Amino acid sequence: MAAQIDGVFESGLQQKIKESKVLVVGAGGIGCEILKNLVLTGFQDIEIIDLDTIDVSNLNRQFLFHKEHVGKSKANVARESALTFNPNASIKAYHDSITTNNYGVNFFQRFSIVLNALDNRAARSHVNRLCLTADEKATHESKEVPTERATAEAPPTCRKLQEEEEEVIRV
């Protein structure tokens, strides 16, 4: 079953969807749902990164994974499963940690959309910082409009708690 979006979206939006380069960080419960929605919507250039492997405990909430996938890379299996929804999509998977030096500002600047689906606070903050830095650099070094970075913004009370927590961590 391939994604079919002709006539659903206005042609300009449909073209932007097809031309967007998307990074999904995390292939767990949220990341799998995001990846499925992206390919069914018509996004065709997607990269996904996750360090984890599939555990039996993942099977009840991560529908792209099945019993035969236990012990395999979440990113690689999510890629294979998502391609069954839209075989025309180009999906590149990385079985790696987003916090390594392989994924710096230059890596993030390659994407028009970054979706942060991590369950680890330190890694989420790392991705958020890289997105902000990538946008800052793109704004100063380019005449193009900065790209969108979709990361969850915590409510003001949560941001204050996070700032306090980061202060404690720095000490």
In a domain, 148, yes or no: no
Q: What pLDDT score was predicted for residue 2?
A: 44
- Is residue 141 predicted with pLDDT exceeding 50? no
Largest CA distance in the chain: 55
- Is residue 149 predicted with pLDDT exceeding 80? no
In a domain, 149, yes or no: no
Residue 70 sits in a domain whose CATH number is 3.40.50.720
pLDDT single digits (tens) 105-129: 999 999 999 999 998 899 999 999 9
Q: How many helices (H) and strands (E) does the chain have?
A: 6, 4
- State residue 51 phi and psi, 5-degree precision: -85, -20
Q: What pLDDT score was predicted for residue 15?
A: 87
Query: What is the torsional sign of CA 15, 16, 21, 23?
Result: negative
Q: Which amino acid is at 21?
A: K
In a domain, 159, yes or no: no
In a domain, 3, yes or no: no
In a domain, 58, yes or no: yes
Q: What pLDDT score was predicted for residue 142?
A: 41
In a domain, 87, yes or no: yes
In a domain, 147, yes or no: no
**Half-sphere exposure of residue 110: CA atoms within 13 angstroms, side-chain side:** 10
Domains in the chain: how many in total? 1
In a domain, 150, yes or no: no
Place 157 in a pLDDT band, splitting at 50, 70 and 90. very low
Tokens for 66, please give them: 């099945």
Q: What domain range is 40 assigned to?
A: 11-140
d(CA 44, CA 108): 18
